[in-house]
Structure 1
Amino acid sequence: MAFVDYYKILGITKSASEADIKKAYRKMARKYHPDVNPNDKTAEKNFKDINEANEVLSNPKNRKKYDKYGEHWQNGEAYEQEKQRQKAHQKRSQSSQGGYTQEDFSDIFGDMFGGGTSSGGRTNAKFRGQDYNSEIQLQLKDVYKTQKQVITVNGKNIRITIPAGVENGQIIKIKGHGGTGVNGGPNGDLYIQFSIVNNTKFKRDKDNLYIDVDLDLYTALLGGQLMVDTFDGKVKLTIKPETENGAQVKLKGKGFPKYRKDSEFGDLYITFQLKIPTKLNEKEIALIKELQKLR
């Protein structure tokens, strides 16, 4: 396997921080994304390389292996184990034969990854493929309902189902969609992290939603009807007389979908913010003064 410099692909140095890697990946991915460069084979290859580099370098554990073992990073631990096993074999051979033979010094990587069966009768070991990491950025409204989406990972299109109610920062695993196993070993897994952007006026806390609603002084004092927004439409509320500033009401089942629980929702909490009238005319001022005398 030829060595691929993932740092060079992303345009960063080996001392780059996790934030630097993330920033560089997003910049390069936007530049070479297939949607931006239709029918451009070079951009398509660059996009594939960028994703591959990010999948390795954005994972601290994989990055450490890559820095140490280079193109053999996926099987670094297995390499160390094989090296220790061969050292033990060499010591046993030395004690029984009085020295080492050329066969004892067979190329470790050749034995493990493509050298076939060695003279000692060892067969190629099977190794699990690498795990891939990807990030999907969505709007809050996008995860209010379950949806399907096609994502590109390492040059392959994968159709996934995104359950309603997924949270910001949540990671889900898609089994078997990582790197191909070595010598018939199992494939790795795909880990997808969700970045949920909330551009709505609602605040979300797990499956509950919160919103502030303006309430005019007269409705607060006398009571009445008020139309308020929920995440999926408007509802009419009955306001009790003498409702205080900061009073809160709960609309059961009007919150956000519960993750992987079909037809179950959290609650919506509405907090009333009293709006004091301004730019009063003379008659209004006189009436308020009269009320003040009564109180």
Structure 2
Amino acid sequence: LLVVVEVSRHPIFQRQDYDIFSTAPVSYATAVLGGDIRISTVDGDIIYNVKPGTQTDTKVRLREKGVPSLRNKNVRGDHYVTLVVQVPTNLNAEQKDLLRKFDDAMTGNNSSDNNDSEKEKGRKKFWK
């Protein structure tokens, strides 16, 4: 007797042997400041604490959250999650102004004192 089992694709999880792979969105603020996010696993959602300064495409390993072995109940794969930082795209004028002020504070620049456009700044740097 020959039995063939075909596992269908899942919209969230990919499987490789006993390991599971997925992605999880992280808000821009949570990536910068740190905080908790909800990650879906095959056993249900878990809370994961994102470290401050997390970059997009950071890989996280959730030990023993993968596929259980059918031959040995003590063996279980891992779940690897790729954290994807969501960069805001539709900012209003106030949000843009606050982000510019934050950028100025981080870089030491003061964009309100300099009326040159970004293109003009690039030209000046090129011809120096």
Letter in 2 for 1:258: S
1:223 aligns with 2:29: no
| Structure 1 unpaired stretches of 5+ | 1-189
Which residue of the partner structure matches residue 267 of structure 1?
78
1:201 aligns with 2:12: yes
Letter in 1 for 2:87: I
Q: Distance in 1 between matches of 2:45 and 2:10?
A: 18
Task: Using structure 1 for the length normalisation, give the TM-score.
Answer: 0.35
1:84-104 per-residue CA deviation (whole Å, 9 max, x = no partner) reads xxxxxxxxxxxxxxxxxxxxx
Quote the RMSD (CA, aligned, Å). Answer: 1.1
Which residue of the partner structure matches residue 50 of structure 2?
239
Q: 1:251 aligns with which of 21, 44, 62?
A: 62
* 1:59-208 equivalence runs, <5 A: 190-208=1-19
Higher RCO, 1 vs 2 (CA within 8 Å, ≥6 residues apart): 2
Which residue of the partner structure matches residue 23 of structure 1?
none
Q: Determine helix, strand or coil for the equivalent of 1:192.
A: coil
Decide which structure has greater strand share. Answer: 2
| Structure 2 unpaired stretches of 5+ | 108-128
Letter in 2 for 1:261: N
1:38-58 per-residue CA deviation (whole Å, 9 max, x = no partner) reads xxxxxxxxxxxxxxxxxxxxx
Letter in 1 for 2:4: Q
Decide which structure has greater helix share. Answer: 1
1:207-247 per-residue CA deviation (whole Å, 9 max, x = no partner) reads 00000111110000000011110101011001100000100
- Give structure 1 regions of 4+ aligned residues with deviation exceeding 3 angstroms: none
Q: Distance in 2 between matches of 1:198 and 1:260?
A: 23
Which residue of the partner structure matches residue 284 of structure 1?
95
Q: Distance in 1 between matches of 2:76 and 2:6?
A: 21
Q: How many residues align?
A: 106
1:293 aligns with 2:104: yes
Superposition deviation, residue 198 in structure 1: 2.0
